[in-house]
Amino acid sequence: MAGLRLDIKRMRWTWLGLFFIALFMMIYLPARHDITAWPEQPTSTSRSIRYYEESLKLPIKSYAKSSVPGMPSEQQTDLRNHYVGVAKALNRKNYRAVNRHVLAILDYGRRDPYQFSLHDSLNFQSGMVTEIPYQYLVHRRINATPLVSVRSDAVNVIAGSLGAYGFGKDFWYDRNTSLALLLCIGGMCVCFGDLFTNDYRRGTYTFVRTLPKSELGYHLKRATVLVIAISLVFLLALVVAVAAIAADPDHALGDLRYPIATVIKGDTVLIPIWQYFARWWLLVTLWAVFIAGLAFVFSHVSRSTVMCVFLLLVIAFSRQLYLLQMIPASLRTFLPVSFNVIPQLFYQAGDFGPMSTLCWAGTLIVWSLFLWGIGGIMIKFRTRATDEQKEH
């Protein structure tokens, strides 16, 4: 325990604090832009309810007069009742009833020419079957509806800022959704580069080598503490960002079970928000472990912090620097350094066609074990000379 307390004391808490602030800004500011930049669009609870009440007036009026040609009048009355039901339930914020009514309306399919007024949520991609998310919502009795929650609830807006809706040609403005992850990785490179070279810089390395425990164990313990700290910083930034959006009175907290719908290989796939956040967290933690391994190996190559951090940055951002283009495409998927574009990674798009979550997690874990193994072998190799001298 004393060793653990020492490691915690030795960590650079100011750097972690700055990292937290930068990460929080990176997650919160795009979300805030999303909910404030377009005052005419349904980007808050009250605005969404008003927006849909307005757009539902047309179908309600035309079905009340039974003025749609080619549809029997019982169906038109039924549809009118459902549209009125949607409008009333929105007014009372009874989203479960909204979902039930919308599902009944979607049942009519193309016979109902006014369905477009329900399609305004930003997650509509070509090939998506709109009933599937509604069926999920009704089945689980979730109190959130795409009409309101997608652009106003805190967890949805933060998921959007983390790239949940950032894919597909229908995304309505251009934003680099991977920036938060790139910032994370950059911060990790700096932190780990500093961690493994600070003993050289402070001249305490010879002291470390005289400690009566294995050197590999010493480095492993310090790296684990930093990995856990970074992982917690990410979680904290996420929670504070969600709380910051939810603090606004016109935005509800939302439901973590809400499903993000996306099209993967032609099928409509639902990803609950908690699972999306969990994948993000897993990616960040595994990247931290991977960079720890890389930094450990590089610290044997060069004792200078700047050189270590530079090598880490070059490798971590090799996709952004186009260095990966020089490697044949078939080998590229085996290299974990290309796993820093969101949401293509999560949605199996582009380069990541065949990669499921287990696939990229496994790749990162295997590489990390490999790197730590190499580091251990390098230590063994270096201390072998002194071991041999001890025997004599």
Partner 1 sequence: MGAQYRLTLKRSLHSVTNIVIAAAFFLLLMGTSFSHYGQLDTTQATQYSAYATADEAVAKTINDLKKVKPASASVKAALKQKNQEKYYLDQITLATAGGLSADVNEVNKAVLAHAKYSLRATEKDPQVPLQLIKYQGKPTSHKLIERKKDVAVYRYLYQHHMREIPVAAVKPPAANYVANALLYHVSPLLIIAVFIVWLAEFFTTDQREGNLSVTNTLPMNKTKVLLAKMGVAFTLALPLFGLSALAVYLVVGLGAGWGSFQYPIAYSPDGQQAEIMLLGHFLVLLLSALIAVFSFFVALSALVSLVASDMGTVLVADALVLLTGSAPVLGSKALSGAAKFLPSAYFDYSGLILHTAAWPSLGYGGGIVVLLAGASILVGAAGLIVHRRQLL
Q: Which is nearer to partner 1, 127 or 350 (CB)?
A: 350
What is the phi-psi region of residue 71: left when phi exceeds 0, alpha when psi lies from -120 to 50, beta otherwise?
A: beta
**CA distances to 13, 133, 206, 385 from 381, in Å:** 34, 57, 17, 8
Q: Where are the alpha helices (DSSP H) in 263-328?
A: 273-301, 305-316
Q: Which residue has the tokens 């106003």?
A: 152
Q: Which is nearer to partner 1, 97 or 309 (CB)?
A: 309
* Min CB(201)–partner 1 separation in Å: 7
Q: Which is nearer to partner 1, 18 or 129 (CB)?
A: 18
CA atoms 325, 327, 331, 333: torsion sign: negative
SS3 101: helix
Q: Which is nearer to partner 1, 204 or 325 (CB)?
A: 325
* Min CB(325)–partner 1 separation in Å: 5
* Min CB(145)–partner 1 separation in Å: 35
Residue 327's CB is within 10 A of a number of other CB atoms, namely 14
Q: Which is nearer to partner 1, 193 or 259 (CB)?
A: 193
DSSP letter at 378 equals H
Q: Which is nearer to partner 1, 125 or 302 (CB)?
A: 302
* Min CB(310)–partner 1 separation in Å: 4
Residues near partner 1, by CB under 8 A: 14-15, 18, 201, 302, 304, 306-307, 310, 314, 321-323, 325-326
* Min CB(326)–partner 1 separation in Å: 5
Say which amino acid occupies 145: T
* Min CB(308)–partner 1 separation in Å: 10
DSSP string, 51-67: HHHHHHHHHHHHHHTT-
Q: What is the C-alpha separation between 379 and 219, in angstroms, rounded?
A: 11
